[in-house]
Structure 1
Amino acid sequence: MNVLFMGTPDFAVPCLEALVQEGYAVKAVVTQPDKPKGRGHKMMAPPVKICAEKYGIEVLQPQSLREQALMPALLRFQPDVIVVVAYGKLLPKYILDFPRLGCINVHASLLPKYRGAGPIQWSIINGETQTGVTTMYMGEGLDTGDMIFKAETKIAPEETAGMLFERLSVMGASLLVETLKALENGTAPRVPQEDGVASYAPMVTKETGHIDWTRTADEILNLIRGTDPWPGCYTMLGDTVMKIIRASKTAQTGQPGQVLFADKRGLCVACGGGEAVVIDELQMQGGKRMSAVSYLNGHEIPCGIFLG
């Protein structure tokens, strides 16, 4: 079975590794172009490219897939199946129609819930207690194709998006191998999605992490977990950005956003619903991560002021 692999971030790497280790003929990898990162804007290769080069697999990085841009590669490699894992762009019809076994996607949710670019983060932000991975036949819609297999897992109460990301990436690799074996022997099912119960998980942005203190304590704690490690959860102390790394719920009441205490117990802020959270770990704009107590040892935050 000739495979063309399309993927970009860390999440896709275990899937590519699994294909190589299982002996599949990965003819080439298609990934996003290198991008500048960090303060020095140094060009950085996508994680999937780094992985592919480790195994000596040819890497293609087209700026666009439009106007038959990938057709020469498809004709050269003649893939029986195209595996897509977090590639980052919708595939045009000429790609979807090319392989005889179709284009197979590994998606980090239990479809049809959380279609879109941010399923892991939004499942935690929305307080879900269960999630998983789905393999599917790709169509022209956004994560709307027929499902093949699912693998489910519980979301732990303290689990962050980063932790869940790592677990689901490994689960996805195992499910992908199971899916390809079923495709090979003709036993892969086609289960249509119920559009009526579908939900959408848009791409997470920096603004996603901005706390609305009128939300309940549980909702704010979910936001902190769901935006860790990126983009991070934050509030404003005057004109200064305060990132919140870790917090806990406490039995205090006040007006939403009001600082109720700031001492050796931590930094307590009132939420909506007559609840409050204690900020245990934070990072002030331009500073390092530290415990709230350590920060308060050198900086005073008056009780009664409001965070925004």
Structure 2
Amino acid sequence: MRLVFFGTPNFAVPSLRAIVEKGHEVALVVTQPDKPAGRGLKLTLPPVKLEAQKLGLRVFQPEKLNEPETLKVIAEVHSEVLVVVAYGRILKEQYLALPPKGCINVHPSLLPKYRGPAPIQHAILNGDQITGVTTMFMDAGMDTGDIILQWEVPIDPDDTFGTLSQKLSEVASELLIETLDLIERGEAPRIPQDHSQATYAPILPPEIAHLDFSQPAVKLRNIIRALNPDPCAFAFFRGKRVKFWMVQSVEEKTQETPGRIVAVEKNKLLIATGDGLLMPTELQTEGKKPLPISEWLKGTQPQVGEQFL
């Protein structure tokens, strides 16, 4: 089928690659503009653009999606289907009316659960053990369209936003190929969502990254997993920012002030929380590289009674 592909981050790359490998004609790849990044604010190309260039595909990066000129460029492609995978902007109704076989969205949750821009983080944040991927026919709402296919994906206890995103992106590419096959054959189902069961997954507020040790250890662990690798949860120790890359929670009661170090051993650091103890396994003090806890302890020499803030 002839299609236009909308996508921007790494999550969308396996889907674009799979579509091309399957033999579909990707007439145009639409991705967000290059953006300054890093200390030098050097222009960085979106991962989908990099992949599209490798595949020899035409790339379009509109500054404003809903301008008449932008719509004209995409309409002139005369695609049968629009495919949207983590593009990062909402397509208005004029786009939904373009392709004769519909606009397809790939969403990393089991809709109607976790509609919105941050479903993977919220699944981890809430301690879910199962998530998944949904393909759907897009409508004017946010992730409210009729479901085509869904696949469940287990969440491992040590999964982070990074590792789970990678797993889901590979599943998404397979599910998308199966979805396009059904559409091409005219056999794609349309399963209405149960809107009464819908939940929303907004972008996480920046302040969540600064750990509040008065919260339970289990919740803190989920926050740390949900923010790994970006932006990464942190606290302050001896006036310096320390990133928490990975931790375990320990079900042990303590009367100590939350954030206070209650035990230091050769390979173990225990921090009091509102309920239970937090046991970091990888930390990174600002200006230094991430270290396993044994190396961090050796270099930092923390003492029982010192405080993470």
Partner of 1:120: 120
> Are the counterparts in 2 of residues 204 and 231 from structure 1 also a CA contact under 8 Å?
no
How many angstroms apart in 2 are the aligned matches of 1:293 and 1:153? 33
Q: 2:297 aligns to what SS in structure 1? A: helix
Q: Which moved more, 1:193-202 or 1:128-137?
A: 193-202
Q: 1:266 deviation in Å? A: 2.5
Partner of 2:283: 282
Q: 1:249 aligns to what SS in structure 2? A: strand
Partner of 1:257: 259
Amino acid of the structure 1 residue aligned with 2:27: K
Matches within 5 A, 1:181-260: 181-250=181-250, 251=252, 253=254, 254-260=256-262
Q: Which moved more, 1:180-189 or 1:204-213?
A: 204-213
Partner of 1:33: 33
Partner of 1:306: 307
Amino acid of the structure 2 residue aligned with 1:282: L
Partner of 1:172: 172
> Are the counterparts in 2 of residues 8 and 47 from structure 1 also a CA contact under 8 Å?
yes
> Are the counterparts in 2 of residues 269 and 278 from structure 1 also a CA contact under 8 Å?
yes
Runs of 4+ in 1 over 3 A off after TM superposition: none
Aligned length: 307
- 1:269 aligns with one of 245, 268, 271: 271
Q: 1:18 deviation in Å? A: 0.8
Q: 1:293 deviation in Å? A: 3.0
Task: List per-residue Cα deviations over 1:13-44 (Å, max 9, x = no partner).
Answer: 11111110111011010000001111121111
Partner of 2:109: 109
Q: 1:265 deviation in Å? A: 3.7
How many angstroms apart in 2 are the aligned matches of 1:256 and 1:285? 22
Q: 1:69 aligns to what SS in structure 2? A: helix
| Coordinate RMSD, CA, aligned | 1.5
Identity %: 42
How many angstroms apart in 1 are the aligned matches of 2:300 and 2:80? 62
Task: List per-residue Cα deviations over 1:137-192 (Å, max 9, x = no partner).
Answer: 11122111111100101111111111111111010011111111111122111111
Q: CA 1:105/1:124 → structure 2, altered by over 3 Å: closer, same or farther?
A: same
> Are the counterparts in 1 of residues 75 and 98 from structure 2 also a CA contact under 8 Å?
no
How many angstroms apart in 2 are the aligned matches of 1:204 and 1:7? 21
> Are the counterparts in 1 of residues 7 and 86 from structure 2 also a CA contact under 8 Å?
yes
How many angstroms apart in 1 are the aligned matches of 2:37 and 2:287? 18
Structure 1 spans left out of the alignment, 5+ residues: none
How many angstroms apart in 2 are the aligned matches of 1:146 and 1:12? 21
> Are the counterparts in 1 of residues 96 and 102 from structure 2 also a CA contact under 8 Å?
yes
Q: 1:259 deviation in Å? A: 1.4
Q: Which moved more, 1:91-100 or 1:237-246?
A: 237-246
Q: 1:249 deviation in Å? A: 2.4
Q: Does 1:13 align with 2:13?
A: yes
> Are the counterparts in 2 of residues 205 and 231 from structure 1 also a CA contact under 8 Å?
no
Task: List per-residue Cα deviations over 1:24-75 (Å, max 9, x = no partner).
Answer: 0110100000011111211111111111111111100000112323222233
How many angstroms apart in 1 are the aligned matches of 2:126 and 2:43? 35
How many angstroms apart in 1 are the aligned matches of 2:290 and 2:253? 25
Q: 1:238 deviation in Å? A: 4.7
Q: 1:84 deviation in Å? A: 0.2
> Are the counterparts in 1 of residues 234 and 242 from structure 2 also a CA contact under 8 Å?
yes
Q: 1:77 aligns to what SS in structure 2? A: coil
How many angstroms apart in 2 are the aligned matches of 1:233 and 1:194? 35
Structure 2 spans left out of the alignment, 5+ residues: none
Q: 1:200 deviation in Å? A: 1.3
Q: 1:205 deviation in Å? A: 5.0
Q: Which moved more, 1:281-290 or 1:71-80?
A: 71-80
How many angstroms apart in 1 are the aligned matches of 2:211 and 2:196? 31
Q: 1:143 aligns to what SS in structure 2? A: coil
Calculate the TM-score normalised by the size of structure 2. Answer: 0.95
> Are the counterparts in 2 of residues 135 and 149 from structure 1 also a CA contact under 8 Å?
yes
Task: List per-residue Cα deviations over 1:250-282 (Å, max 9, x = no partner).
Answer: 335233222112342422111122x10111210
Matches within 5 A, 1:132-147: 132-147=132-147
